[in-house]
Chains A and B, each alone.
Chain A
Amino acid sequence: MAAFIVRRIGEGLATILVVALIAFALFRYVGDPVMSIAGPDATQSDRDELREQLGLNDAVPVQFIRFVAHAAQGDFGFSYRSARPVSGLLAERLPATIELVAVGATLSLLLGTGLGIVVALKRKSALARSILTVSLFGVCLPTFVNGIVLIYLFSVTLHWLPSFGRGEVVPVGGWTTGLATWSGLRSLIMPGITLALFQLAMLIRLVSSEMTDVMQTDFIRFCRARGLRRGSILFRHGLRNAMMPVVTVVGLNIGSVIAFSAITETVFQWPGMSLLFIDSVRFGDIPVMAAYLVLVATVFVLINLTVDILYFFIDPRLRLAPATAAAQGPANG
């Protein structure tokens, strides 16, 4: 297992480096930061001086190596817009994104599993059909439409929930949480649901088809034959086996959820990293953009790694397989 993880980490690092290179190359074409910083009144010599100070006159490979060398130490330089360290800016924004993604993923997992089981057990019922139909809206409508519909319903019409922002947050160590206050929790509801919706329809279908498959297998039939309670069969034996691919998909999808959170964060003015990224695109704030992309790539790599490791714990066959093979090896030979 150790060798496996080391290999995966190596591959992950290579991925991150490639993303950094692509990001770096792309950003040379998103705009000229000198124009944004120096403002319209600057003279040509002001601009030239600034270009020199920013190191934009150096050869591209030199700039890239400098970027990677600094990034490896967690130093992404200074934001062109706010003149503050990028790592600090991202760190401040991280809690908002993590909480939103966690709530969104949890909501979609809980709802997806619950509704998926209902659909699997009552496949022909009107309830199951309406769940499947309604959930289709989740995938069919773009995220920003879902978000705006929720805002107009719950903020503008009913005045129940705030339309923007994170509400009141409480600092906990270096973290800020909106989970500890009433206004923070209320602010999380709509963005959380919006983010959950996009993969809910897919999860419901996945859970229900997995459950249907599992429930038809022999070992469930044996469980029934042994007279185990229905709840025990369903959850301890059925669901547990059905959850394998579900966890994989949810895990792998967390990366996409973070990517999708860019839209959710924009619609709800959610002060997370993605909103920072969107704002920095508008300004041509290259250090922030580059750092964000590298960070998201890192998250993707970490997620894949974690899912690989989780397999070992969820599925005993994977854990035992190498050992069994080793034990059986000589006997077979």
Chain B
Amino acid sequence: MFQLRWLWKNMKGSRAAYIAALFLSIACNVMYITSPYFQSKIIDTFISNDNALENLKNQKSLLWWLLVGMVGFTLLRTVLQYACNMYYETASQGMIYRVRTHLFRKIENQDMDFYDRYRTGDLMTRLTGDLDMVRHMVSWVIKGCVESIALFTASMVYFFSIDVRTAFCILAMTPAIFIVTRKFSKRAGPAYRKVREASSSLNTAAQENISGNRVVKAFAREDYEIEKFREKDEQYRTANIKAAKVWLRYQPMIDFAAGSLAVILLLAGGIFMIKQHLTMGQYVAISGLLWAVSNPMRNMGNYVNDFFRFMASAGKIIEIYYEAPKIIDRSDAKEDEERLKGDIEFKNVSYSIKGKPILKDLNFKINAGEHVVIMGATGSGKTSLINLIPRFYECTEGTVLVDGTDVRRHKLHTLRKNISIATQDVLLYSDTIDSNIAFGDSELEEEYVKRCAELAAASEFIEKLPMKYETIVGERGVGLSGGQKQRISLARALAVRPSVLILDDTTSAVDMETESFIQQSLDKKLDFPCTKIVIAQRISSSKNADKIIILEDGRISDIGTHEELIQREGYYRQIYELQSGINCAAEESGVRA
């Protein structure tokens, strides 16, 4: 029942309201049983009584009082009930709010491998459908259980006060409920977990179809997608029906047990009456309130059913709730200056994933303000290398130092605040261009946003857009060309005025002219000191670098300047020759004078 303890923990702040609601709902239910009192008193005194007519004449004021009492009592009861319901809503919304914000922070702060393990659609399921099950538990199931128990107990006490034997006969039926629910519980858990799985994969299928809509259309795979989705939907439907059928197998037993209370009362009560142990009045009193015992029995089954759905969902939420990132501030992390200088050093750094080496024994130093280019084949470990600097990955051996201090001894926040990356896969938010550029610092002045756009060679096309900087770009920046997105991403990286700027192949889709403009900006126009680390494929980007690092199979095979490297046999010279093939060809054709 860890789920319940977890629930209680998250009720913090709403506990008082919740307990108040529970007490109120007990009170309301007891009032509900007693409310027929006025009506039966009226009937007893003024209608079915032998002296009804006389009573009507003599006790007119009593009749009025009873009528007023009847209306007033209902009014009071419903007002209390309303207050009670609102308390439940307040408490459950408070709880959900708490859990939701917590989960959001959890999801935001995970290590990279978390995002490999959980698919977007699956996380969405947890924060929508599953969370709603938890809400349902708090605002409905627990409430229902408490009310049922209150109603049941109050009525049973009343029955015992009337006649012990009859009450016992009725009570004899209750163990049946426990037996059935116990049996049911064994099968309900697995069934609902299956529903959960099916719902998550349905969500994933839809989510990926929506995100990948361009690919779907490009390959005219609509029919295939529909088929794929139908299959998931089918599984979801089947799982739901199966789970419902598990419940429907046991539900009639509970229903029947509850329904047979009337039979027991008729038989046992009848015999007791014949034997003169029970009066007609007592019998009527019990039978009038029999629903208050049988309904809770019937409903308990439903609540148990919902409870298992809750358990399946809560389990999924809790998994994320307690997920802890491994890369966090160490206890010996030092208080940094706000702004780092930007010296970077790799000392014997190796990095491997699941025992598979990605980077091997890297040693190099980058001084603050330098412009360094990293080159290497696809999969040689370039992106992994830069991810070690802001500690997105943790190196398995050796040390990465920033400003002479091990990155693990920096505060994560300070470290990352000082390093900004324009990632390979450009992801923009569905927000204005202005907000996208000011993403790292939303307080940024408009002037500075424009300046960053200018530095990134983006201002020209932005100015041409109908709403300029206020244009909303779609998710992933759809509607913009690849080169345009990359430039916005670059402007976004510049806008935080980082000490270390990392460009992960950020100008690949940008034309050459623009690229050289961008290089000019980076080298000459920045109004803050900044170390630049650039992953690039083109010689044109590396020519003016202070240092070029060549990665081959996770090792540094060479370091040097352009001039140095083209002198030596090796990767760089090969690339140089490949790419300057243009020159040679041009010279051959004699076009270039």
Are both chains from one complex? no
B residues with a Cβ closer than 8 A to A are none
A residues with a Cβ closer than 8 A to B are none
